[in-house]
A and B are shown apart, each in its own frame.
Chain A
């Protein structure tokens, strides 16, 4: 069964360092999402791509976070510089193209996530 791939699974870094996370969505999925999940809370959307275009980045802290999906396939989320409060699980999800009919396009498939600890 196709899965969303994320790497690394775990990342430990010191504050003020740069970190990057990678996500490879399910093949053919046009929409890609990055979420941040703080322990004990639900995930919060950071950025949503449709192909290579940003659909929503309203909750992305743009002074330190950046995301790209250059060829509309895999994506990278970067934090520079990392702060203590960035410690969280970073989840990537994908879904089929949002246009058109049918329920399947709305279902989001999640990767296993990257657990970030900032010391």
Chain B
């Protein structure tokens, strides 16, 4: 059974810092891995999707890497802004696109 762990559970940084969020998963037989953002009381927004054959994906200030064999992914956020404050969730996906979510990292960027 796939289990997903996200570290740290919460993070508070001053504006402008670069930061790294970590995700580990127990079953490396994945088809892709997605990173999502969730604002309080809202739905999820897809940030990046990495296919199992890829090593990384970039979108603006976000960069996600995937090491499938070791069961790890990282989300790098450059030059953080207060608007980046949210919960970040990682979710490895299986053959049917079923996602297994971690419990998330709650990020607070202080102005």
Contacts and interface: CB of A to CB of B under 8 A. Distances in A.
Q: How large is the interface on A (under 10, 10 to 19, 20 to 34, 35 or more residues)?
A: 20 to 34
Given A40-B103, A42-B91, A98-B97, A110 B4 contact: no
Interface in A2-53: 4, 31, 40-45, 48
A106 B44 contact: no
A110 B96 contact: no
Nearest to A6: B43
Contacts, number: 63
A55 B99 contact: no
Interface residues of B, number: 25
Interface string A71-101: 0000000000000000001010101001000
Contact of B97 (A31, A40, A112): A31
B89 A42 contact: yes
B43 A108 contact: no
A105 B49 CA distance: 11
11 contacts: A42-B89, A42-B101, A42-B103, A45-B98, A56-B96, A56-B98, A93-B44, A105-B97, A108-B44, A108-B97, A109-B46
